[in-house]
Amino acid sequence: GTTRPQVSIVIVGHVDHGKSTLVGRLLHETGSLPDGKLEMLQAVSARRGMPFEWSFLLDALQTERDQGITIDTTQIRFRTNAREVVLIDAPGHAEFLRNMITGASQADGAVLIIDALEGVRDQTRRHGYLLHLLGVKQVAVVVNKMDRVDFGQARFDEIKAEISAHLEGLGVKPVAVIPISARDGDGVAELTSRIGWYRGPTVVEALDGLEPAKPLSSLPLRLPVQAIYKFDDRRIVAGRVEAGELRTGDEIVIMPAGKIAKIKTVEGWPQTPVTTPQGAGRSVGITLDRELFIERGDVIAHVGREPQAARRLHARIFWLHDQPLSKGDSILVRLGTREARGSVVAIEKAVDPGSLSNEENRAIARNHVGEIEIALTQPVAVDPYTENARTGRLVIEVQGRIAGGGLVLTVDAGKRAQP
C-alpha cells in the first residue's frame, strides 16, 4: 500500500474519562484489529453475562504482547486516511510521562479526553499543562460520553470554553474540540445525527490533520560523543547522530571547546569505511584528521551551525522527586551524553499544574512544574528546545536517580561577572 507520514501521539486525561475505550474504538473503526478479535471478546463477555467493554481489547492485546504472541507491537498503531498513527504507551501507563521527560519518546500530537458529565478536572488541567511543558503543540480535545448528557450542545460548549481558555493560557490552541461517544462511536470516525449540531472534524479526521515532526536529519548535525575507542593507533569517536547528517570530509567543530577538525573516515561495521551520509538515528564511529582533546559529553557539529557553549540554562521542568527542588540545591544535569554538576540559582516559577496556582515558597514539589535557572560548573554544548526538540532537553538527577527533567528554554554563555 501507500506509505503515510507517521505521527506519534499520546492520549491523556483523567482516569475513567474513556482513554482505553477511545483507543479500542479507533482500532476498530480504522480496521486495525486482527480478524475476529472483536467478535471473540464480545462472545466471551456475553458468555460471562457481562457487558462488553472496549478496554478489554487493549487488555487482550497487552496480554498477547506480554506472552510474546504478537511479535511486532510494543506500540499500538493504526492507520487513518493520511497518517500512520503510533500511540506512545497504552493509556493508563504513567511511563509515557517519564519517557517524554527523559526524551526517550516525543509526541507530535495529543488527544486530551474529558468526560462530558464530569467536566474539566484537576487531572485534566494537569495533563494540559504537561503537554505544554513537553512542547506538544497539536492537541485535539475530545468531550467524551456525550450520551451521558443527552448529546446536549450547551454542556459541550461550556466544557469547550473552559478547556480552550486553559490551553490557550498556556499557549496551546486546540486543533479541534470534538463531541464524541467513544462507547457508541459518535464523532470518532463518523458524525452521527445525535451530534448533528456539531460542525467540525471527527477524531479520525483531526488525527489526519496532524503535522508529522520535521525529520531530524534535516536539522543541523548533532553527534553527542558517547565514547572514544583506541584501535591500534587510531582513535575512534563513537556516538549516535541525534540530528543532521555527517560524512567523510566534513569540517566539524567539537563543542563546547570549539576545536575544528575534518572527518577522516566514518567507520563501518565490520571495519569497512562508509562513504554515504549517516543521518539521525545512526550509531557511528568516526576518525578525525588530527589529534584533539575530545571526551564523552562533547558534541560534534558542523562549523557555523554549532550548538552554544553555555554555563547557564533557563529550563522548564517537571519534578518527580519527593524532596522539593529549591534555590541553592546542587544537582547533576544530563544533557545528551554530558553529565554536568550545577546548582539552582533561581526558581522563577513553581506551579501546581492542576490548579495552575503559583507556589508562594518558590520550591518545586513532586509532580509540580516550574521554570528555573541553573548555573553549571563547566560549559556544555546545548541547544534551546525550540531549535532542536531532541537535544534541547535535560534530565536532573539527585543521588543517582532521575528526579526531574524538561526543556531548555534559553542558554547563556554566562560570563562569570554579574551585572
3-state SS string for 10-62: EEEECCCCCHHHHHHHHHHHCCCCCCCHHHHHHHHHHHCCCCCCCHHHHHHHH
Whole-angstrom distance, CA of residue 317 vs CA of residue 323: 15
What DSSP character marks residue 358?
B
User: How would you classify residue 107: left for phi > 0, otherwise alpha for psi between -120 and 50, otherwise beta?
Assistant: beta
**Residue 16 makes contact with ligand GDP by CB under 6 A:** yes
Q: List the one residue out of 255, 231, 9 whose CA is nearest residue 113.
A: 9
Among 8, 19, 134, 370, binds ligand GDP (CB under 6 A): 19
- Shortest separation between residue 342's beta carbon and ligand GDP, angstroms: 38
Among 148, 302, 312, 366, binds ligand GDP (CB under 6 A): 148
**Residue 55 makes contact with ligand GDP by CB under 6 A:** yes
Q: List the one residue out of 360, 382, 362, 252 whose CA is nearest residue 313.
A: 382
Nearer Cβ to ligand GDP, position 192 or 248? 192
Among 125, 127, 132, 145, binds ligand GDP (CB under 6 A): 145
Nearer Cβ to ligand GDP, position 138 or 181? 181
Whole-angstrom distance, CA of residue 362 vs CA of residue 248: 50
**Residue 209 makes contact with ligand GDP by CB under 6 A:** no
Q: List the one residue out of 96, 134, 98 whose CA is nearest residue 407.
A: 134
- Shortest separation between residue 151's beta carbon and ligand GDP, angstroms: 11
Among 126, 166, 183, 393, binds ligand GDP (CB under 6 A): 183
Binding segment toward ligand GDP, per CB under 6 A, in 140-148, 254-262, 270-278, 343-351: 140-148
Nearer Cβ to ligand GDP, position 91 or 379? 91
Binding segment toward ligand GDP, per CB under 6 A, in 12-20, 134-142, 209-217, 341-349: 12-20
Burial class (CB in 10 A: 0-12, 13-18, 19+), 2: exposed
Site of grid cell 546542587: 330
Nearer Cβ to ligand GDP, position 17 or 338? 17
How many amino acids of this chain bind ligand GDP (CB under 6 A)? 19
Nearer Cβ to ligand GDP, position 145 or 311? 145
All three cell numbers of 378: 563547566
Nearer Cβ to ligand GDP, position 181 or 388? 181
Whole-angstrom distance, CA of residue 325 vs CA of residue 83: 41
Question: Which residues sit at the interface with ligand GDP, rule CB under 6 A?
Answer: 13, 15-21, 53, 55, 91-92, 144-145, 147-148, 181-183
